[in-house]
Structure formats: C-alpha cells, structure tokens
Amino acid sequence: MNTLFDHKAALPTTYNALVAAFMPRPIHDKMGHQNTLAVIDALAGRALNDEQEDYLDLLSTLVETYEDGMLKDELASLPRGLTMLQYLCDENRVNGVELGRILGVGRAQASLLLKGHRNLTVAHLKRLSEHFNVSSQLFIG
C-alpha cells in the first residue's frame, strides 16, 4: 500500500503487483472508502497501462457502489414534503425573500408556504426541483 500513496514513486506495472500493494475489497466503512480514494488519487493523472487501467476501473466501481449505498441511506433519512422544503432552505441559507424569488411569488406567500399555510403548486415544485437540483417527489409528503 505504501508505494501507491507516493505520487512520485513508480507504480507497479502488473495487475497482480497492484493487488499485492492494495487488495481491492468491497467497501463497508468510511476508512475503507478513504483508503480506496487515496489509491485512486495516487493513480489519477498518470499515464497507465491496460492492467493499471483495469485496476483503477475496479477501484472506481467499488467506490461508486459504496457511495451509491451511502446516498441511498442519506436520501431515505431525509425529511419529506414541507419539512423537505424547510430543510433545503435552511441548508442552502434561502430565506423567505429568496424563496419568493425562486418561486416567482412575493415574500409573504413564500413565508406562508414555508409555514405550511399554503400548498405548493405544480409550478412551485418544478422551480424548486430545478433550483435545488432534486426530484420534485421530495416535496410530496
């Protein structure tokens, strides 16, 4: 593992030598994720042969699988509906005035939407999903 973390050292040239330096394994925790990313970082930006490319592809697939699982878990734990709107506004420091601008409504109506006194329209859902780059389904309780 030590040679792969040194960006100046020569890389092993065969797949077997790469595996001997850092054994690819399914990623189950943050440490495994960080270690695999460090190896990917050491490989990135270099001219790689076919075996090194295959090894990098495998590591990238392992990271992608882990991150997809983490994202799915994070999304499942996020709030829905009005709570999602409040959450996204808080996380992105969007106040009532800014929300009104995003939705094309006045500050008062935006405030009523944030308090749950008004319902979001289809047009609101479209604008929110575009602005926050999320699915409009997140706002549907």
pLDDT in tens, 14-44: 999 999 999 999 999 989 999 999 998 888 8
Share of the chain above pLDDT 90, in %: 45
Does 48 share its domain with 114?
no
Does 72 share its domain with 6?
yes
* CA 139 to the chain's CA centroid: 19
Does 70 share its domain with 89?
no
Whether the CB-CB separation of 114 and 106 falls below 8 Å is answered with no
Does 49 share its domain with 35?
yes
Does 68 share its domain with 24?
yes
**Does 80 score more than 80 pLDDT?**
no
pTM for this entry:
0.53
Segment 43-48 shows an average pLDDT of 87
What total of structural domains would you count in the chain? 2
Domain residues for 59?
A: 2-77
pLDDT at 69: 82
> How far separated are the first and last CA of the chain, in Å rounded?
48
- Among 77, 100, 120, the domain boundary falls at 77
User: Measured between alpha carbons, how far is 33 from 41 in angstroms, rounded to an integer?
Assistant: 12
What are the structure tokens assigned to 48, written together?
């790689």
Does 90 share its domain with 51?
no
- The 10s digit of each residue's pLDDT in 93-121 is 999 899 999 999 988 888 888 888 888 88
Contacts of 90 (CB under 8 A, 6+ apart): none
What are the structure tokens assigned to 47, written together?
């001219």
Does 71 share its domain with 10?
yes
